[in-house]
Amino acid sequence: MWREVAGHTFPEAGFSSVDATQVAAAEQRLRCAPPSEIVSLLLETDGILGPYGVETVWPLKRIVEDNLHFWSDSPLTHLYMPFAPLLFFGDNSGGDQFAFVRKPSRPMPSRGNTRMAVAAGSPGTCWTISASLSLLKETTGTSS
């Protein structure tokens, strides 16, 4: 499917592919699983070379190397907002890069165990978010 779509858009595009073992190794290095859409594209094409030799969708190796660099390079972390929430996968050669927003896996607290209080309103009042995800208004000093 991806070869047909890319070939229609970029008739001069050439393709190779990666295998599931290479994708698994990339996931380990990145410490996250790339979205299924990019994985299926890479399994079929290992990136898309657009007009003028631009890697519109990067090969798997570049996805891994560039993201590890973006996430850890000290000068970049001081110049820009954090790149950690993003998984870059291509560019247009004009400075614009394409990325997925990474969704971190967060364990849900068990029901009734954990609460997070955030100050709001008048002194002595806070909003409490319980593990059951309901929002409760609570006045300090009252028994629960």
More confident residue, 131 or 52: 52
Same domain, 128 and 57: no
Looking at the structure, tell me whether residues 55 and 70 fall in a common domain.
yes
In this predicted model, what pLDDT tens digit does every residue of 51-109 receive, in sequence order?
888 888 999 999 999 999 988 887 877 788 878 889 999 998 888 999 999 876 666 55
Listed residue (129, 127, 99, 125) closest to 112, CA to CA: 129
For residue 25, what are the domain limits? Answer: 2-101
Whether 33 is covered by a domain: the verdict is: yes
**pLDDT tens digit sequence for 23-46:** 999 999 998 889 999 999 999 999
Residues 132 and 95 in one domain: no
Residues 19 and 88 in one domain: yes
Q: For residue 35, give the nearest of 106, 107, 104, 100 by alpha carbon.
A: 100
User: CB atoms < 10 A from the CB of 127, how many?
Assistant: 14
Answer yes or no: is 143 within a domain. Answer: no
